[in-house]
Amino acid sequence: MEFIQQYAPVILGVCALIFAYYLIRKVSKADPGTERMKEISTYIHEGARAFLIAEYRILVFFVAILFLLIGLGIGWVTAVCFLVGAVLSTLAGYIGMNIATKANVRTAAAAKDKGMNAALSIAFSGGAVMGMCVVGFGLAGAAVIYLITGSADALSGFSLGASSIALFARVGGGIYTMAADVGADLVGEVEAGIPEDDPRNPAVIADNVGDNGGDVAGMGADLFESYVGSLISAVTLGVVGYQVKGAFFPLLIAALGILAGIIGCFFVKGDENSNPHKALKMGSYVASALVVAGTVGLSFAFFGNIKAAIAIVCGLVVGLIIGSVTEIYTSADYRFVKKIAQQSETGPATTVISGIAVGMQSTAVPIILIAVGIIGAYLSFGLYGIALAAVGMLSTTGITVAVDAYGPIADNAGGIAEMSSLPKSVRKITDKLDAVGNTTAAMGKGFAIGSAALTALALFVSYAQAVKLFDSGINVLDYKVIVGLFIGGMLPFLFSSMTMDSVSKAAYKMIEEVRHQFRTIPGLLEGTAKPDYKKCVAISTQAALREMLLPGIMSVLSPVLIGILLGPAALGGLLAGALVTGVMLAIFMSNSGGAWDNAKKYVEDGHHGGKGSETHKAAVVGDTVGDPFKDTSGPSINILIKLMTVVSLVFAPLFVAIGGLIK
């Protein structure tokens, strides 16, 4: 029993990586299609690879500086663990992005030669590589570090490493993809009247590159951070209350989740007439059911009751329901998106107003669900239960990331089909896969936000324990705490402003470049000349690398400065303020963006005048406003609140020793 308790997490983590290798081989062996398809795929692959390498070169300096600061200020063991977390997060993102750029062209080829089910299998397998790398590296890394050090404090360094990479991957990738997407949409669809993925559009390759850098590598890094953060907070609280078994229990739940996720992947299948969405949901539901069943047994084995299982199920169920609620607000199958499409008949102003209203309304149910989950988890197993709820919600991360990463692969496949002039029957299949991908991406963002809320709360509890706030409490009438609350509540808005402005500046340059090429390259719009794709890729790359630094530095420095100047209690206020406003702002922005996106596609399907109509142009404007909402600022807020919390946890000893310089 002791051997299983200690080494099962490592073994299952390695199994996830072996399964990822199996999927890589499966995707790589598939037919990549025609020479034209291979050419376009090479553009996308090289652009995505070049962007990530350029991004990682900058991150080396950031990671090196933090490594030295942690080593000198906290301890070298924690610093080494930080470095391991950063390296594994980077590795997971790079592998996932690399295989996604291979899966996209093979998905298009499968749609051409074999049909819907074969295309779905390739796209999902490509996404599952990212998912399995996330959980494999995350669990194996955390388990090995705990086995070697026996220290929950060292694990916080591992979590900080994951968080640091995640922020830059999300912000940088989001700025990249949205600069290209906005330029491609506004100049291509609205001004030139050509399709979104038309090869005549100079920004189309940059747009496809961004899908891989932002939506695959970025999303993977986001959930890698949440996954690791939830494990670390549960281990930290478990050690205090239940010694060794309290530390290993959440690691075994995560191991169970990996096994369930691998099994769930084999249930993602359909036929030519089935709905791909149902196939993807089936895999998620099977994985969740297996986790619930296994959790009950583990809870009895460790604690002699099902209280721990109840806490885990609270998190798992809340995560599933938040995903379904997100679908209701962002899918064209429901009234909210249809209402935005109808409002587009009167112009872009009403499109934007109705989309904002839908996003604001969509915050209510997820927040209530998170509150109910917290109450249920706490009543069943106390503060440790809240941390277990976060682990439960993220236990099926492997298949959740797979379903999410499937979306950009299907989207790229549609673009490759369009640019390669494949038959309309192929584009019909890829469009169906892409439409499902838009919904799964929105659901994935909802899940990421919900998991961020629970993870940040669990880490906040760990921080409070580290600085002994449970002894003194946080006095909300203390002026320092009030200052912390206000500053914390403001930070998500300032952060969003920075990232939105970055997209705006980058998109401006992209629009000017696309217009310039349309004006100056003879025969481009007629299809007799090729655009200069590399210039647009360079614009997105340079903008992303330049603009991602300031938000990242702000996220790390804010809690450190407040902790040193105002003390641990004020920092607790800052974390609470950021958590409350950050979660709601993230839900609002992500769901507004998703709803605008699908409203545009609903119009393009022939409703309210269809493509080329004034309604369509208004819907494109709404989608363009929503792009940085849902793919840059909204998802990045998740990482902001988690990163600030884990920075506070890592530097907690420093704040206890010298915090509160302002008396």
Burial class (CB in 10 A: 0-12, 13-18, 19+), 367: middle
DSSP code, position 331 = -
Share of the chain above pLDDT 70, in %: 95
∠127-10-92 over CA atoms, to 5°?
30
> What is the pLDDT averaged over residues 196-224?
76
| pLDDT value, residue 358 | 94
| pLDDT value, residue 354 | 94
Beta-carbon contacts of 298 under 8 Å, excluding residues fewer than 6 positions away, are: 249, 252, 253, 256, 308, 309
Number of H helices, E strands in the chain: 22, 0
Beta-carbon contacts of 89 under 8 Å, excluding residues fewer than 6 positions away, are: 137, 161, 162, 165, 166, 169, 221, 224, 225
| pLDDT value, residue 373 | 92
| pLDDT value, residue 389 | 92
Q: For residues 355 and 517, give the distance between their C-alpha atoms in angstroms, rounded to a whole number.
A: 33
Query: Of residues 331 and 581, which shows the higher confidence score?
Result: 581
**Looking only at Cα atoms, what is the longest distance across the chain?**
76
Question: Is the confidence at residue 251, as pLDDT, over 80?
Answer: yes
pLDDT in tens, 31-64: 888 888 888 888 888 888 877 888 888 888 888 9
Whether residue 102 contacts residue 25, with contact meaning beta carbons closer than 8 Å, is answered with: no
Question: Is the confidence at residue 311, as pLDDT, over 70?
Answer: yes
Question: Is the confidence at residue 446, as pLDDT, over 90?
Answer: no
Domain extents for the chain?
2-463+477-658
Q: For residues 84 and 88, give the distance between their C-alpha atoms in angstroms, rounded to a whole number.
A: 6
Beta-carbon contacts of 531 under 8 Å, excluding residues fewer than 6 positions away, are: 199, 200, 201, 202, 517, 521, 524
pLDDT in tens, 12-29: 999 999 999 999 999 999
> What is the pLDDT averaged over residues 121-125?
90
The number of C-alpha atoms within 13 Å of 29 and in the hemisphere containing its C-beta is: 7
430 — pLDDT class (breaks 50, 70, 90): confident
Share of the chain above pLDDT 90, in %: 30
| pLDDT value, residue 376 | 93
| pLDDT value, residue 80 | 92
Q: For residues 257 and 12, give the distance between their C-alpha atoms in angstroms, rounded to a whole number.
A: 9
Question: Is the confidence at residue 601, as pLDDT, over 60?
Answer: yes
> What is the pLDDT averaged over residues 125-147?
92
Look over the chain and give the mean of its residue pLDDT values, rounded to a whole number.
Answer: 86
Question: Is the confidence at residue 546, as pLDDT, over 70?
Answer: yes
> What is the pLDDT averaged over residues 412-423?
83
Whether residue 270 contacts residue 110, with contact meaning beta carbons closer than 8 Å, is answered with: no
> 100-104, 118-122, 200-204, 604-608: which has the minimum mean pLDDT?
200-204
Q: For residues 69 and 75, give the distance between their C-alpha atoms in angstroms, rounded to a whole number.
A: 9
> What is the pLDDT averaged over residues 183-210?
72
- Give the end-to-end CA distance of the chain in Å, rounded to a whole number: 53
Beta-carbon contacts of 519 under 8 Å, excluding residues fewer than 6 positions away, are: none
Question: Is the confidence at residue 316, as pLDDT, over 70?
Answer: yes
How far is residue 472 CA from its own chain's centroid? 36
pLDDT in tens, 604-635: 888 888 887 889 889 988 988 888 888 788 88
> 142-146, 170-174, 551-555, 643-647: which has the minimum mean pLDDT?
170-174
| pLDDT value, residue 419 | 81
| pLDDT value, residue 576 | 93
Question: Is the confidence at residue 444, as pLDDT, over 80?
Answer: no
| pLDDT value, residue 353 | 94
Q: 10 Å Cβ neighbour count for 538?
A: 15
Phi-psi label, residue 193: left if phi above 0, alpha if psi -120 to 50, beta otherwise: left
273 — pLDDT class (breaks 50, 70, 90): low
The number of C-alpha atoms within 13 Å of 265 and in the hemisphere containing its C-beta is: 30
The number of C-alpha atoms within 13 Å of 646 and in the hemisphere containing its C-beta is: 36
Whether residue 453 contacts residue 370, with contact meaning beta carbons closer than 8 Å, is answered with: yes
Question: Is the confidence at residue 571, as pLDDT, over 60?
Answer: yes
Q: Is the pTM of this model over 0.85?
A: yes
Which of 156, 50, 82, 109 has the alpha carbon at shortest distance from 422?
Answer: 109
Question: Is the confidence at residue 592, as pLDDT, over 90?
Answer: yes
pLDDT in tens, 356-382: 999 999 999 999 999 999 999 999 998
| pLDDT value, residue 220 | 80
> What is the pLDDT averaged over residues 480-498?
93
| pLDDT value, residue 364 | 94
